[in-house]
Structure 1
Amino acid sequence: MIVGFFAAASIATAAGAADRRQPLEPSTYADWRAAGMDGTGCYWSRRKDGPVLVAASGRTAVARMAGHVVVMRPDAEADELFPFTYDAWTGPGLRIRIEDSGVVRAMGDETVTTDATITIESHGITTRLRGSMICGS
């Protein structure tokens, strides 16, 4: 169940601060729950145990920018990335595409961590960041 999966991720999120070289800020468990996220999903972070910058479950993804939560839906060109989630998301003023390398860095009983790059498009600025995608139930 993603509630427990994302709850564990929120511990790392609370400890992190926004990286000023990119537009996303850490999101929280409360943000994800407010968006109705529940079930199997994924989150993306720049480093191991780092803050969660993008979280996705089902047809909903969440990111935080300029102190506001942006709730996103699958982009019209999105493909399935992991069961029950997608590789491209669109919300007000924000578009995110996730490129999963498929290289497994860690595997747990119910999670898998892979190298992944995200492309963030916001207000005419495109930023690409390397990090990790953690998916599970």
Structure 2
Amino acid sequence: MSEDVTAQARAEKCAALMMDKDAASRGLGMHLDRVAPGMATLSMQVTPEMLNGHGICHGGYIFTLADSAFAFACNTYNQLTVAHQNQITYLAPGKAGDRLTATALEVARIGRSGTYDVTVSNSAGTMIALFRGLSRTIKGQHFPENGDPA
């Protein structure tokens, strides 16, 4: 098995294990569309319950979608990784019925620290938010590998 296939299989296994335990993402109807080493795409339908007092998608739901994509992307290496710092810039509103898609891409991963950029787009492909996540690897793995305990 080539290293690329091994890395892809590792990313997919980590994502499946995480999604199985991620009641928050599943509860909001998030779907893992794609995962690869250092990358993840999640999508979510904006429901009426997600609208704020202006009739647009509450920013917290957009942030949660971006944060979940970030989490899946930075956990693709079978090392437990958590958020260290996040920020988001809202560019346009999400609307009822929109399918929002968050794509997280690794910018840098050095030692225990990682930087990931996430774009959130609506059904029409319009970018509605930019998110930057800083990650920190902690002790542990998602599954035992190479004789290491989980």
TM-score, normalisation: structure 1: 0.34
The structure whose RCO (Cα within 8 Å, separation 6+) is larger is 2
Greater CA radius of gyration, 1 or 2? 2
TM-score, normalisation: structure 2: 0.32
Greater share of strand: 1
Greater share of helix: 2
